[in-house]
Amino acid sequence: MNAQTTYIYTNNDISGQNSVSGFSVGSNGALTAVPGSPFLTGGSGSGGGYYASNKATASIAGSFFFASNSGSGSISAFAINPANGVLAALPG
């Protein structure tokens, strides 16, 4: 199963400690928060306003999720659990 077709994630770009929110997408398009969401990225956001720097993307295979931390100038990587959409931070 490709996790990208079942879940959607947002980079919250919160000023200070940044986080990512995850939602499962129902067959009718309704969104439900993924257990444990929001997930801390370990980096800092800037509070928005920097369109090019507050990006988030999932890998083509749908197994990984990447979020930029515009305040700290870093990128956080997560593994996506395809069964429930929960993100697990990857080291490094």
* Burial per residue of 50-89, b for 16 or more beta-carbon CB atoms within 10 angstroms, e otherwise: eeeebebebeeebebbbbbbbbbeeebbbebebeebbbee
pLDDT of 16 higher than 60: yes
Q: Give tens-digit pLDDT for 23-50.
A: 999 989 899 999 999 999 999 888 765 5
Q: Give tens-digit pLDDT for 44-81.
A: 888 765 555 556 666 656 688 888 888 888 999 999 99
The total domain count for the chain is 1
Domain, as residue range, for 76: 3-89
